[in-house]
């Protein structure tokens, strides 16, 4: 085809109109993004906790448990513990068992502090004849990642108000 000035104009196809060329070019220049380098490995994460509970009777407990990831943002856990409950007639054995599911707001350690919220079920026995069960709500924040253990502070409501200091085994690929 000739223009008005006598110059030959050739028609060419646009790059987007040629799918094979587009695919070859995109494969040649593509590389993994940072988020694609994280692999999801569901491993059990042990935890140790010390908590104070203000319920019908005040108690202090030492607990041990573990949690597993259900995805990048969700952890399911179970913990069991024993301690002392202070009753009007003296101190007695207190026990507690918790099943929780936590939603992490920063599962990839992008910030120093990693807040989370969750809920679950709790069963307590604080020196009385009957165990009491209830719904559990927790809010917490994980701190700076340690070499072996990561500290956390947690507040909860469920068969009493509680405040806990938690140490979780440090994960290599996220919180």
Tell me if 17 is assigned to some domain: no
| In the block, residue with structure tokens 């995805």 | 71
Tell me if 30 is assigned to some domain: no
At residue 116, the pLDDT reads: 97
Tell me if 83 is assigned to some domain: yes
Angle at 38 between CA 31 and CA 175, to 5 degrees: 155
Number of domains in the chain: 1
At residue 59, the pLDDT reads: 93
Tell me if 68 is assigned to some domain: yes
Tell me if 105 is assigned to some domain: yes
At residue 164, the pLDDT reads: 97
Domain that holds residue 138: 45-169
Q: Is the pTM of this model over 0.85?
A: no
Rounded Cα distance, 170 and 42, in Å: 13
pLDDT per residue of the chain (175 residues) written in tens, 0 to 9? 555 666 665 655 555 566 776 666 666 665 665 555 666 666 899 999 999 999 888 999 999 999 999 988 999 999 999 999 998 888 999 999 999 999 999 888 888 899 999 999 999 998 777 888 999 999 999 999 888 999 999 999 998 899 999 999 988 777 7
Burial of 94 (0-12, 13-18, 19+ CB in 10 A): buried
Tell me if 38 is assigned to some domain: no
Tell me if 151 is assigned to some domain: yes
Q: What CATH number is associated with residue 159? A: 2.40.160.20
At residue 175, the pLDDT reads: 77
Tell me if 22 is assigned to some domain: no
């Amino acid at each position: 085809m000739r223009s008005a000035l006598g110059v030959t104009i050739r028609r060419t196809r646009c790059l987007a109109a040629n799918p094979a060329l587009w695919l070859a070019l995109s494969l040649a220049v593509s590389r993994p993004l940072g988020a694609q380098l994280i692999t999801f490995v569901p491993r059990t994460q042990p935890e140790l906790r010390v908590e104070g509970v203000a319920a019908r009777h005040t108690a202090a407990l030492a607990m041990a448990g573990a949690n597993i990831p259900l995805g990048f943002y969700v952890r399911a856990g179970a913990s069991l513990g024993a301690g002392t409950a202070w009753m009007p007639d003296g101190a007695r054995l207190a026990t507690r068992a918790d099943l929780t599911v936590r939603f992490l707001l920063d599962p990839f350690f992008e910030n120093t502090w990693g807040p989370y919220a969750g809920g679950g079920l709790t069963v307590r026995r604080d020196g009385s004849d009957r165990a009491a069960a209830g719904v559990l709500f927790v809010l917490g924040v994980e701190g700076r990642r340690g070499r072996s253990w990561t500290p956390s502070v947690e507040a909860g409501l469920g068969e009493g108000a509680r405040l806990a200091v938690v140490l979780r085994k440090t994960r290599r690929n996220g919180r």
